[in-house]
Homo-oligomer: A and B are copies of this chain.
Amino acid sequence: MSSSPLACDDCPVRDHAVCAALDSQQRLELARIGRTRTFERGTTIFAEDDASTACATLIAGLVKLSTIDTDGNERIVAIVHPAGFLGRLFATTTGHRATAITDCRLCLFPRSEFEAVMHGHPALTERILARTLDELDRSRALAMLIGRHEAGPKVAGLLLGLARGSCSDGDGYARRIDLPISRGDMGDMLGLTIETVSRQLTRFERAGLITRMGLRSLAIDDPAGLLAVAG
């Protein structure tokens, strides 16, 4: 977990993160209050019910947002990609646990100071609003998946979502996915057990829809067929 001051000019997500709403001059205000920090795979970035004292842009790596329900099951509510925004603005508590799925680099800001900068720069606020609305869409799309009655559509829908996410151009699906998350995490997103997720994958493979290549990547052989299963 090293920590260092900002070098926005070298930032790989400079044009996609929320700070892209600011020009280089204005960005200095953020650079003054922020610092980068790395987190190792598996590390907790913030715990649920932590005081919401910081927010951050994810520069590199993958983060999952989750809550532990009272049965002790982890329920994943979102996966954050590079350029994504972390933290809960305008609230006193974080609400979710943030865990590094892979090694991560973050650009951290004290929340109150970040909000002050937002206040001075409406374009930043507007960009964060746009991002939050997208996040709301994603959350609702995930809720729809979770609510499906059978496991097939859930897993198929998740795969298609991942394929869409890892596809460079806008719409269309990647033919080959490197799964960012474990079977357990897939289950925790969909409200299924590890075993059920695994069984659905073997079923898809036997049906000729996908080919598993190692544990963490697969080829989508029949996108239309998968789409049909997803419903």
Interface residues of A (CB under 8 A from B): 67, 69-71, 73, 75, 77-78, 88-91, 95-96, 118-119, 122, 125-126, 128-130, 132-133, 135-137, 139-140, 142-144, 146-149, 190-191, 230-231
Contacts and interface: CB of A to CB of B under 8 A. Distances in A.
Contacts of A71: 148, 231
Contacts of A119: 122, 126
Contact of A143 (B77, B130, B133): B77
A27 B204 CA distance: 56
Main secondary structure of the interface of A (DSSP, over half): helix
Nearest to A136: B136
A51 to B, nearest CB: 16
B191 A75 contact: no
Contact of A142 (B95, B135, B143, B191): B143
Contact of A69 (B126, B142, B231): B231
A190 B139 CA distance: 15
A118 B122 CA distance: 10
A161 B168 CA distance: 40
A125 B143 CA distance: 26
Contact of A148 (B133, B144, B191): B191
A79 B142 CA distance: 17
